[in-house]
Structure 1
Amino acid sequence: MLVYRGDVTGHSGTPMTKIDTTSTTHSKLSEAVSSTNLSRSNPAHAIPRRAFRRHAARTAVALATGATPLLCRAEAGELGGVGMIAIVALAAGWVLLTLFLFTMLRRVRPRTRYLASGLFLAAPFLWLAVTFGWFMMTEPRGLTPQGSATTRTAEAPVLMGGATFPAGSHVQYAPVDDHGEASQPSAISSDQPVALGTLSIRGIEHRDSDDDSTFDVALAYEQSIDGWPCAAVTDIGTRIDIGDAHAPTPHLIQCRLAKTVTIGDVAWPPATVVTRAADSRGWSLLWYRGTFSQVERAKGFSFDVDSMSADYDQAHALQSWQGTLAVDGDVGVGSVTFAGDPKPELRWNRLDGTVQVTGHRAGPASDVTACVAVASTKPRYRPCAVPVKPARRPASS
C-alpha cells in the first residue's frame, strides 16, 4: 500500500513528498498469487531437485523390490532359470533408462516430456511387433504350428514300397511339409498278410532319414532273409532294402534271430541282432541280455557269456569275436583266479585260434591284470600278454 507524506525536507532543503510502502493483507495475497502463477508457468520450480531425486530413488527401490521375487523364482527354475533372469534384468535396466530420460527432459513441456518417455519405454515392444509382422509376411510357416501325423482307414488299395495293401488297411500320413505339398503315406499296417517280393508282411514303414529303397517291415511270421531266420517281432521291425520298387527283391539290413543259430564254436541265441556290414561284405552279430532275449547266458567257445559280439564275412566265416564271462564271483581259469567284478573279458585270437581271458586277479593282487590263453589242444592253458587298449586321443583345441 502506498502512503503519501508531505513536508519532507530533502538534502538541498527543498520540500518533497515521501512515498512509503506499507505491508498489508492485500499485498501479501498478491505475492502469493504471483508465486503460484510462477510455479504453474514453470513446473520445474514446483518440485525441488532434492525432492525429485528422493522420488527417483524411491521408484528405483520399488522396482528392485518388485523384481526380487521374480529373480528368486527364476533361480529356482520356475520361470525359465537364467533366461528369465536375463529378461528381468534387461527390463529393469530399460525402465531405469526411461526414468533417466524423463529426468533429463525436466525443462521440456510436460506433454512432450511424457510422450518422448513413453515412446522410449515402448521402443522394444514396437521393434518386436515390426519384426514379428515382417517374419509372418515372409516366413508364415516359421511360426505356424505344423500338423501331426494322421491315421486313416484306406478306402481303396494302397501301394507302398512295392507292396499293395488292401482296402481297410490303416494308413499313417506324414504331416504337410514346409512347401505345402500333399502328405504321403509314411506307414501302412494290415490284418491280412501282403506279399513283398518273396516275403510276407503285415506292415511297412519308411523313415525320412532313410534311402528311398530302405523300409522297416513287420513280418507276418518267421522267415529266412539272406540265410538268417528273422523273427516276426511286433514291436521290433525288420529293416530291408527292396531294390527296385517295381520289382522288389528284399535284402536284409537288420533283424533279430528267431531261433538259436550255431556258427562254428559260437551259439547265437534268439533275439541276437544281425546287421549287414556297411560295405555289404559281411555281417555283425550282437547279443546281450538286454536284446529282448529270454535266455540269460549263451555259449561261446565253451565259455558261458552274458554278452558277445562278432564279425563274419559273406560266407559266415568268423573274423572277430569278443564277449564277457558270465560269473557271479571269482573264477579260476588255469592257474589264475580272476575277480568277478569287473567281469573278465574274452577275445578270440584269429592267428592261433585261442581265446584270451583278461581281467583283474582276485585277492590282495586285485590291481594286477592277468591274461590266460585257452586253446582247444594241449597245453590248454598258457599265459599271454595283456592286450593293450588304444589310448584316447586328446581333444583337439
Structure 2
Amino acid sequence: MNNKAIIIGCGIAGPVMALALKRVGIDATIYEAQPMPNDTKGAFLGISPNGLNVINDFLPLQEILTDYTPGKISFFNAQNKPIGLIDNAHQKDLYGSETVQLKRGLLNGALRKAAEQAGITIKFGKRLISLSQGHENTVTAFFEDGSQAEGNLLIGCDGIHSATRSCLFQDAIKPTYTGLLSTGGFTMIPGLSNLAGSIRMTFGQRSFFAYALSNKGEVWWFNNISQPDEPSQSELSQLEQAALKEKLLALHKHDPYPIADIIQAAQSIEIYPVYDIPFLPQWHKGRVCLIGDAAHATAPHIGQGASLALEDTVVLAKCIRDLPSLTEAFNRFQSLRQERVQTMIRQARKVGDSKTVPNAFQRFFRDLLLPFFVKMEAKKMDWVYSYKVDWESKIT
C-alpha cells in the first residue's frame, strides 16, 4: 500500500504535491529544513497560465492575486528606446489566466495554509541528512535533529540545492553556474504611475535591469550582473548592502531614469548566483522521486521554474494513481516531463546569455533584431501556456 508519503521541502511545490497526493488517496507529511515559516523572505517570481491553472485547482486565484505586478513585458535599450514587447492581453481568453509576478513569500504562505487547512501536517526544522530504503515497501528519512520519518514513498521538492538529490545520487550532477548574478528588491518611488502597466526591461550599457509597479504602487525590481567566475556563498553573504548599492549605481550610472533612483531608494537588496541543471539523467531511485528544481532547475529568465514544478505535482500524482507500481509511475512521470523541461532549460539559458554585456556591434544588431525575435518567441510560448493536466484522463 503506497498510502503514506514523505515530502521534503515546503516551498511552492511541496504543499501542492501534498494536496495532489491527497486527491488520489495518499496521506503526506511535509518536512521543511527552515526552523519556521517566513513569508517575508525572498523576492518575486513569474507565474504563467500553465502554473496558475494548477494552483487554481487547489486554491482560488483571488487569494494570491492580492499583491502582484503584470506579466506584460516592454524592452528598452540603454538610450531608453523601445525595442520589443511581449503582450499578454490575450492570455486569459486563451488559457484561463494571465501571467503575473508574485512575491515568493505571499505565494508560499498561501499554498502552505491551503495544505494545512486540508489537514496536511507540516514539520519545520527538519533538515534531511540521509535516506534509507532497506525494506521492500518503505523509505526512511533521517534529519539533522536526530529524528526520522518513515513512509511508503518520498518526494524531493527541495529546490535546486536539493538535499534529497544529494542523498539519492552521490555522484549526481551539480547545479551549473550560468555566469550571471541576480539582485533585486522592493521599494517605493513617488511619481512613477505613468510607467505602470508592464515589466520594463532595459539592456543597459553595462548591465540588465528590470522593474514593474505592483497593484499597490510598490516598485519590484531586479538586475542581472555578468560575472564569469562563480562567487562563493561566503563572498556574497559578506557583501555589505552599501557596497552592493554602490556597485549597482556604478553599473547603471548612464542608464535611463528611474533606474538609479530605484537602486538608491532600496532599503534591502537580495543577491544570488543564477544556476540551472542542464540534464539530470535519472529523477528517481527506488521509492524516492525528485520534482521541480530538484530534478530540472531552470534559470529564471523565462519565468517558468515555479510553473514547471507545479505541473510536475499533478502529473506525478496521476502517474501514482494510475500505474500499478511506484517504479512504473516514476518512470512514466520522467518520460512525460523530461523533453518539455529540457526545452525550457535551454531556452532560459539562451535568454540569459542575451543579458551579458555585448560590444557596440553586437548591441546594434540586438536592438535591430530583438523585436522580430520577441515576436517569434511569443508565438512559440503557446505550447508552454496551454499545457493543462486533465485529472479525469488516465495515465497509461
TM-score (norm 1): 0.19
- Tell me which of the two structures has the higher relative contact order, counting C-alpha pairs closer than 8 angstroms and 6 or more residues apart: 2
Choose 1 or 2 for highest CA Rg: 1
Give the number of the structure whose residues are more often strand, by fraction: 1
